[in-house]
Amino acid sequence: MRVEDLVRGVLEGKRRPLARLITMIENEDPQASEALRLLYRHTGRAHIIGITGPPGSGKSTLVTRMTAEYRRRGRTVGIVAVDPSSPFSGGALLGDRIRMQEHSLDEGVFVRSMGTRGHLGGIARATSDVVRAIDASGKDVIIVETVGAGQSEVEIIDIAHTVVVVDVPGSGDDIQAIKAGIMEIADIFVVNKMDLPGADRKVSEINAMLDLDQKMGEWRPPVLLTNGRTGEGVPELVDKIDEHMVFLRESGLLEEKGLQRSRDELHQIMEYRLTRELLQHLRGRPEYERAIKMIAQRHDDPYSVAQRLIAEFLVELSRSGGGDEDGG
């Protein structure tokens, strides 16, 4: 399929082109960057919601309930469910969908499962592009589910407008108490499984922690109770998520965050491209290998060599009129 056709399909909201594009993004297919380039201007419309929390806390169940609620309110929903890939084989068991199948026949819902595929920071990059593709396809709300175990939950704030942190009553050994890191990224706290004993106590605990928080701005994260099984508390959760968007907009934070995000992204892309091209330029050149040897033998130092090589590269770049438009 030609990139233009793919892009048109995505913009028309068709599932197959969208699904294909996501695969290309995940596989780092060079055509994916071209498609994303063409789609970029059509993005930025969806409300992106991150859901994170310990394994088994009921995230997928809640996502399903929230989706039902959004659909009732006439909004379309995209879901990205991320599960860890095996560090040994690189494969993954993607099981979140088990709980989301009830929406599988609804035209207004698109569900996609992703493995983290192990590469450093890779989840952030692929996920944000995948979210962007779904955004371009016209979904009103995009929910990203990630397991709250380490890095990915911090990366979620780079992608989502609103981060919902899910916890459950009690703190059995498999359920980590909310860590400081995860506290800071929450815009909304949910204590799911409110039917289990200790739910109210959990709410007070989180509130007590929030009371101690010095850095809190104008938005104090609300702490909500939900029951993923019955859906109790879910309309209130969706209300709060909407409210948070209103807050972001009215406080100017949305714009501020948008600018910051564009700045970060531009930096990231530039840094990535520059590095890549610089290295491509140097790779295999005899003088480059010689310079490395000089450093190793202590005849030269890496600081001066780096400065010299970059300067030479920039001169050459300006002479040749820039690198290639796009790369592989």
Ligand X SMILES: Nc1nc2c(ncn2[C@@H]2O[C@H](COP(=O)(O)OP(=O)(O)OP(=O)(O)O)[C@@H](O)[C@H]2O)c(=O)[nH]1
Whose tokens are 């993607």? That residue is 94
Buried b (16+ CB within 10 A) or exposed e, 32-62: bbbbbebbeeeeeebbbbbbbbbeebbbbbb
Residues 279 and 277: their CA atoms lie apart, in Å, by: 5
Regarding 96 and contact with ligand X (CB under 6 A), the answer is: yes
Regarding 195 and contact with ligand X (CB under 6 A), the answer is: yes
Mind giving me the DSSP string for 255-313?
HHHHHHHHHHHHHHHHHHHHHHHHHHHHTT-HHHHHHHHHHHTTSS-HHHHHHHHHHHH
User: Looking only at residues 74 through 103 of this chain, which bind another protein when binding is defined by CB under 8 A?
Assistant: 85-86, 88-95, 97-99, 101-102
Residues 211 and 205: their CA atoms lie apart, in Å, by: 10
Q: Which is nearer to ligand X, 36 or 164 (CB)?
A: 164
Regarding 8 and contact with another protein (CB under 8 A), the answer is: no
User: Looking only at residues 40 through 69 of this chain, which bind another protein when binding is defined by CB under 8 A?
Assistant: 56
Regarding 280 and contact with another protein (CB under 8 A), the answer is: no
Q: Which is nearer to ligand X, 33 or 61 (CB)?
A: 61
Binding range to ligand X, per CB under 6 A, among 18-26, 123-131, 203-211, 222-230: 222-230
Nearest to 166 by CA among 144, 140, 141, 137: 144
Note the residues at the interface with ligand X (CB under 6 A): 55-61, 96, 99, 147, 192-193, 195-196, 227-229
Note the residues at the interface with another protein (CB under 8 A): 15-16, 19-20, 22-23, 26-29, 56, 85-86, 88-95, 97-99, 101-102, 104-105, 110-113, 115, 117, 119, 122, 172, 174, 229-230
